Amino acid sequence: MTGKARTYLDHNATTPLREAARMAVVEALASVGNASSVHAEGRSAHHLIDEARHTVASFLGARPELVTFTSGGSEANNLALRAREARSLIVSAIEHLSVFMPACADERPLKEIPVDAAGIVDLDRLEALLRDAEKPALVSVMLANNETGVIQPVKDIADLVHVHDAFLHVDAVQAAGRIPVRFVALGADLLTVSAHKLGGPQGAGALVANDRVRLDPLISGGGQEFGRRAGTENVAAIAGFAAAIAEIAGKPLSSSRLRDDLEVGLKAIAPQIRVFGAGAARLPNTCCFALPGLDAETALMGFDLAGVAVSSGSACSSGKVARSHVLAAMGIADELASRAVRISLGWTTTEKDIQAALAAWGGLVERHKSRPAA
């Protein structure tokens, strides 16, 4: 794309590839070898995967043999639901569709955990569901929501789940790299992460599963990934995944300063906006808001024309604005939920980007005010 420089503020969708990850991908692509082959070239490819597995495991505080590489977060979430021991499923009302859709298609009994107005799961209701569930149950609750950034009390959830001898799956795709994510400390039995949310390449993810869980593979026909995921591994994407993690491991996590500055600016321009989940702990990079009367599609087009990439609160695979099940679960009326805009910051975001977003927002609001009344 040529012309005026653009401002990218849609990091929850995907974040730019880090240079270290790009170099690792290129280097791996230049190598020849199937990691399942016993010759030197095969052993070299296997070594890259083995090193990557140790890097990912160390970052998440898990043992390497518990890490299964997948094609991304969606596949990892689908695989997590294949826990062989689980007799029933319990998922929160705000889960990503890569949890919701396979759970709904599953033949096992399914129950939904409601959330409060801030988007936090109802622990009392979860306990009731666990008491009544066909045992053992598999509970799936994301660590941080992709639309609102709201963070769940996963450790409290894990303690409750394990009292009832159930299993806990945590989708940490949006959280990893933005807040601490430690497998054992969270109390998860299964945990999902994705490379392209961390600055790695698209096409790689991982599922961590502890010794309590046996998984029925989604893809069969080979013994790769400890028999949990057949198919020749995507060595280049896995190497890039590990390189991105190696670059951020040990570095201070981003603060909420830029996000807070953004929200102050948004409200100064349009005091009547509503920031969803504002009363709860949130990811430091995520702001999901709506202005009554301003359609999300109009806002997205306005930002885009001003050179700023943002997203709606919920986007379907066709790129159209869709009804947000997350905001609906929080009790937000469709009239307001349909107007939700999500701005998500990342490792490339600067003060200049925030000012560009606020300038675009100011123009949008002025045009909105000047519209003739319907």
Closest to 199 in 3D by CA, of 26, 71, 11: 11
Other CB atoms within 10 A of residue 27 CB: 14
Pairing of strands 137-140, 190-194: unpaired
N-terminal to C-terminal alpha carbon distance within the chain: 37
**Cα–Cα distance measured from residue 154 to residue 161, given in angstroms and rounded to the nearest whole number:** 10
Q: CB neighbours of 259 closer than 8 A, spacing ≥ 6?
A: 284, 285, 286, 287, 345
Closest to 298 in 3D by CA, of 359, 353, 365, 357: 365
The one catalytic residue in 104, 287, 288, 316 is 316
Length of the chain: 374
Whether residue 316 lies in the annotated active site? yes
Distance (Å) of CA 317 to CA 13, 98, 148, 236, 268: 12, 12, 19, 26, 33
Q: CB neighbours of 75 closer than 8 A, spacing ≥ 6?
A: 205, 218
List residues with catalytic annotation. Answer: 316
